Amino acid sequence: MVSNNSKVNIYIMGKKYAVPEALTIMDAMEYAGYQLKRGCGCRAGFCGACATVYRIGGDYELKVGLACQTKVEPEMYLAQIPFFPGRKAYYDLEDINPSTATLMTLYPEVFRCLGCNSCTKVCPQDLNVMQYIAYLQRGDFEKAAHESFDCLMCGLCVSRCPVNIVHYNAAILARRLYGKHILPPSPHLRERVQEIEDGKFDKELEELMNAETEKIEDLYNSRDIE
């Protein structure tokens, strides 16, 4: 069994720190004194805010991971990429349809894919990113939506793409088009919207708005988690 007292040397933005070996990268950064205002969100592997690149000393390979999920390793040289400036198209979902013409207009770089598979290799979620790009090129928005469903939008795929495809933005376009124009309308959703409009939840909302912070925290911490 590994002792929590053992320390390993890691390098954060080039500076050396000795940190307990049982820590995640995120915990190690805080242990080293960093106060995370960017590059940290859910702390549970869901939000994609903590994308990190690292290399182990002496090894040529650049690795990636989510800082909140990846354990530190001896001689780890790391830097965080809390935001990657990928291009984002603007559109009104009401005005566009699920077609290759839409994709060609909004994200034409998708059609420049070289098939190098760098996006798939770098994905910390182990998604088959190049596959959903291929589905998009074919205009198969349903398959692209399903294949990309677990994307956290961390941006690492974009950081490695030689033709500057913004995979996660093209994928969220696919999921939006699928939800809006391909999936049949959900009767449950329509019923729930009607209930909201009829004021069914007004009293509960009013109570929440007036509740003490402690009570809201209790409710939050004891909520059902699917």
Judged by CB under 6 A, the stretch of 10-18, 43-51, 155-163, 192-200 that binds ligand FES is 43-51
Instruction: Please say which residue, 67 or 122, places its beta carbon nearer to ligand FES.
Output: 67
Closest to ligand FES by CB, 41 vs 139, is 41
Residues whose CB is less than 8 angstroms from the CB of residue 155 and which lie 6 or more positions away in sequence, other chains included: 48, 51, 81, 83, 84, 86, 168
Does 48 bind ligand FES (CB under 6 A)? Our answer is: yes
Q: Is 156 in the site for ligand FES (CB under 6 A)?
A: no
Nearer to ligand FES, 98 or 124 (CB): 124
Q: How many residues bind ligand FES (CB under 6 A)?
A: 13
Q: Is 42 in the site for ligand FES (CB under 6 A)?
A: yes
Residues 63-92 that bind ligand FES (CB under 6 A): 66-68
Query: How many CB atoms within 10 Å of residue 193?
Result: 11
Report, in Å, the least distance between residue 153 CB and ligand FES.
Answer: 10
Residue from the set 12, 23, 25, 50 that interacts with ligand FES by CB under 6 A: 50
Q: How far is the CB of 28 from ligand FES (least distance, A)?
A: 14
Q: Which long-range contacts (CB under 8 A, 24 or more apart) does 130-139 make?
A: 132/167, 132/171, 132/174, 133/165, 133/167, 133/170, 135/174, 136/103, 136/107, 136/110, 136/170, 136/171, 136/174, 137/100, 137/103, 137/110, 137/111, 137/113, 138/100, 139/98, 139/99, 139/100, 139/103
- Token match 């399903």: residue? 146
The binding site for ligand FES (CB under 6 A) comprises 40-43, 45-50, 66-68
